[in-house]
A and B are shown apart, each in its own frame.
Chain A
Amino acid sequence: MQKYLITVLLLLPGYLVSAQDNKDKKDSTRLPGTRALKMVTVSAGAFEASDKAKGASLTPIDAVTVAGSYADITQALRSLPGAQQIGEQEGLFVRGGTSYETKQFIDGTLLKYPNYPSVPGITQYARINPFLFKGILFSSGGYSALYGQAMSSALIMESVDMPEKSSASFSLFPANIGTGFQKLGKGSRSSFGASLSYSNQSWYNNIIQQRPDYFSGPEYLDGNANFRIRTGKTGILKFYTNWSSSNVGMYNPDIDSAALRAGYLVKGRNGYNSLSYRTALTDKWKVDVSAAYTYNHNTTATSLTNGDGKTVILHEEPYQYKNRYNRIRSDFAQGRIVFTHILPGNQTLRFGAEHFYTNDKGVTNDSLIRFTDQLTAAFAEGDLYVADNIAAKAGARLEHSTALNKWVVAPRLSVAYMLKSGGQFNLAYGIFYQEPQEEFMYYNRNLTFSSATHYVLNYTRKENNRFFRVEAYYKQYRDLIKIKPQEGNGGKGYAKGIELFFRDKKTIRNLDYWITYTYLDTRRDFQNYPYELKPTFAAPHTATIAIKKSFPDINAYVNVSYAFAAGRPYYDIRFNVPDNKWQVYDDGTTKNYSVVNLHVAYLTPFFKHWKQKDFSGIAFGVNNLLGTKQVFGYNYSFDGSRKVPMTLPASRYYFIGFFMNFGIDRTNDILDNL
């Protein structure tokens, strides 16, 4: 989809990053000629993409402009080690975890519904523009005590403060139209902006044949607005609101009957509103306060229809479950406060608390749902410099949920040791608790937190605009959710693996590339797995390459990504009624997955004689360039006699369009030195 593509392309050359707030603090005590020591910073388990990135460290733009990312941060991060190449579903599957085990946070607040409501077998797009962030921390293990409720991975994002300057933009692609503006106030003390985009895929789908037969949409509408106000010397108040709706309806052949079709319709409305404030209280104290309210309303209907499009209601198995209606409204609110106390020698103490309120009501499968949960957490964490070359981050998190009626304490610890050569070893340990998915808590009030214990060891070395990283980990899952016959927290599992990352910006001029390799060994007993199995969302070997090449003499940018994943396991798991247990009736491994994505952008001002040169261009791209037939797994018929591969909705995805941006004058401040 072309949502936000404008920003993707605008930022593709990588120069337009909104890097405000990086005015370095003056260290007035330092004598001229003396050097600040290279500080050791703890970095086990995490990839940090920051607007302060040096050398070959990632910037947010590097992270989100990987070809084939569909302007979805979670898709983009699949080019980093630890993440699985999952093509049939949105979200991040990290180190043997499900996408539910990865949580996204914006300025401390949980983004509970990052993507449009799920559609079986088809990845749905992200709601939030990934270019909103000046910092993205992708933790695949051992993250800070300031965050919780994510067993596998936390995606911690920090929104930009002020835009560079006032600007307006417009983009037009066959399936998407978007416009927006940002207005910067006097002295960069305040700003506000809004944007709107609408996407309707039906026209595109008429030209590029899709596997499902869409009877509604797919269409997506999204509007967002923001304001930011500086207060005093150090304070900033930020507000962001995003409202979106989607409508996707499709028919697929019914797996149990050749004559019938299975319909799936989902309509979603969502609003995410976040207000945050941060300020220094004194030289030594800082405070971050944030509040968020999320509204989500999803209506899902499945149906069985005949050739004339008429609904068919059959009462025998398995057809009696095929006409279903679900409607759930969720209200989710969060309040959070974090104090930071800076101690001598760059040691830092952070502590605070947060509260999450969840209220779901609606109808699923003819039963009424009413669910409320109050989750409270308190946390503290210290950054300690044990020696010049040893740093530690130690913390703990206390959590209580009213729905589970349980208290838990999660310790977190990471240590970094810097070598003389410049390389660094990092160690991390932590326990990560997470509430079961709400759909399990709706019906069962005797559940407890699931948990994962992480052990991470990594080595990084950054030199000469090259970045090498190797990481090994072991992870133990406890109290995973099992469904009937013994519903509860009876599941468990483990994951272990080794991951490599190498990035090189130096060797070839104007070429930036990175290579990753992920080895994963994981088994788990959860949900309907009869015993510990290799889960269907885990491939043992994954490799990715991301390449960005610029041709400054012709103003062109080429962006290629490649991913390979060894086959994933699949199963036909059905309930064996006489034995009263789940049973694997068939299993196998899919063929290997490999994909090449290509994006090309050509930048040129359309109005060369205007006083304010516009910043515009043309872009095109193809995802799955080689048209490789992908198999993500198999769906089985009710009796196991038929299996149907899960594959892409179309063999390739194309886009072409143009975009314009006014008001950004950047002559002479860009350097092409890489």
Chain B
Amino acid sequence: MRTIMITLLALVMAYTTVSAQSADPLQDAVTRLDKAASVKDYEALEKTFSGIAVSQKTAWLPYYYAAFCNAKIGFLYQDDGERIEPYSKSGEEQAKQAISLLNADKQKKELAEVNTVLSMVYRTRVFINPMTYGRQYGSLSQKHLEQAKQLDPQNPRALYVEAWVKYYTPKLWGGDKQRAKQLAEESLAKLPGTAAGVEPHWGRKEDQELLAKIK
């Protein structure tokens, strides 16, 4: 009996989720995004998000997520400099589009989110070839990360990006693996245990991946 009840409940829940999905394509895409892992996943999601972006026009979130997908693809292609540029360029445009849709005075937290993603997008530009792109795009990436932190010092995703930079930068240029660990832990502590909804909530997986590298 108990099993049947649970099964029924699960069915009802599944049904409501499905109906919620069809009602809100953005929520559906974000739910899938939470499980995305491969370039293929992010490519498909990027298409979905930019499709939503074009149909909605004034919503910043679809642009934000499209840019985030492009940034993630760039990070996954980190060791394949030949392939990154088109993703990085689209991501830059999408992030800038998202910023233009936000109110600079009233939406500081949202702007912090987009600047964090834009910082990641510029970081992917560095991966194309650090020697040729590092100087210009490295500083641009840093600039947007600073902006994000200024707008919202508590943003866990900005903290994650900062941790990432501290981890991968050579010591001579200011890199610090222990500081990276601190920042990633701080970021993790600020992230909710489970996350849903369409507001930006990614970061847990990324923080854990980084922390796994630091002994």
The answer to whether A and B assemble together is: yes
A residues adjacent to B (C-beta < 8 A): 14-17, 19-20, 22-24, 27, 30-36, 38, 50-57, 59, 61-62, 164, 422, 462-465, 506, 550, 552-553, 555, 603, 666-674
What are the nearest 7 A-B pairs in CB distance?
Answer: A33-B50, A55-B81, A552-B170, A669-B138, A55-B82, A670-B173, A667-B174
Interface residues on chain B, number (Cβ under 8 Å): 49
B168 touches A673 (CB 8 A): yes
| A36 with B174: CB separation less than 8 A | no
Q: Are A667 and B173 in contact (CB under 8 A)?
A: yes
Sampled A-B contacts (13; CB under 8 Å):
A30-B93, A32-B93, A32-B94, A52-B132, A54-B85, A61-B131, A462-B82, A463-B80, A552-B172, A555-B171, A667-B173, A669-B135, A669-B138
Q: Which residues of B contact A61 (CB under 8 A)?
A: 131
Starting from the known contacts A32-B90, A550-B170, A673-B79, 11 additional A-B residue pairs (CB-CB under 8 Å) come to A16-B135, A19-B132, A24-B89, A32-B94, A54-B132, A56-B81, A462-B82, A506-B79, A669-B138, A672-B170, A672-B175
Interfacial residues of chain B within 124-165, with CB under 8 A of chain A in the complex: 126-136, 138-139, 141-142, 165
**Of the candidates A31, A52, A465, A669, which one forms a contact with B173 in the assembled complex, judged by CB atoms under 8 Å apart?**
A669
Q: In terms of DSSP, what is the predominant structure of the interface of chain A?
A: loop
Residues in A neighbouring B131, C-beta threshold 8 A: 14-15, 17, 53, 59, 61-62
Q: A36 and B89: CB pair below 8 A?
A: yes
Cα distance A147–B75 in the bound complex, in angstroms = 41
Q: Are B46 and A465 in contact (CB under 8 A)?
A: no
Q: Is the CB of A19 within 8 A of B174?
A: no
In the complex formed, the residue of A with least CB distance to B88 is A24
Q: Is the interface of B mostly helix, strand, loop or mixed?
A: helix
Q: Which B residues are in CB contact (< 8 Å) with A506?
A: 79
Query: Is residue B53 within 8 Å, beta carbon to beta carbon, of the partner chain?
Result: yes
B169 touches A672 (CB 8 A): yes
Closest residue of chain A to B145 (Cβ to Cβ) is A668
Q: Taking the complex as formed, is B205 at the interface, i.e. its CB lies under 8 A from any CB of chain A?
A: no
Q: How far is the CA of A20 from the CA of B136 in the complex (A)?
A: 8
- Residue B86 at the chain A interface, CB threshold 8 Å: yes
Interface string of B76-104 (1 = CB under 8 A from A): 00111111111101100110010000000
Give me the interface of B with A, judged by CB distance under 8 Å: 46-47, 49-51, 53-54, 63, 66, 78-87, 89-90, 93-94, 97, 123, 126-136, 138-139, 141-142, 165, 168-175
Contact of A555 with B172 in the complex, beta carbons under 8 Å:
yes
**Residue of B66, B81, B83, B174 with most chain A CB atoms under a 10 A cut-off:** B81
Q: Which residues of B contact A59 (CB under 8 A)?
A: 129, 131-132
When the two chains form their complex, are residues A465 and B170 in contact, meaning their CB atoms are under 8 A apart? no
- Kindly report which residue of chain B lies nearest to residue A667, judged by CB atoms: B174
Q: Determine which residue in A56, A463, A550, A674 has the highest number of CB atoms from chain B within 10 A of its CB, and name it.
A: A674
B94 and A19 contacting across the interface, CB-CB below 8 Å: no
Knowing A19-B133, A54-B129, A672-B169 are in contact, say whether A33-B46 is a contact too (CB < 8 A). yes
Residues of chain B lying within 8 A (CB to CB) of residue A50: 132
Contacts of A666 in B (CB 8 A): 135, 173
B77 to nearest A CB, angstroms? 9
Contacts of A38 in B (CB 8 A): 86
Taking CB atoms, residues of chain B closer than 8 Å to A55 are: 80-83, 128-129
Q: For the complex, what is the distance from the CA of A52 to the CA of B86, rounded to whole Å?
A: 14
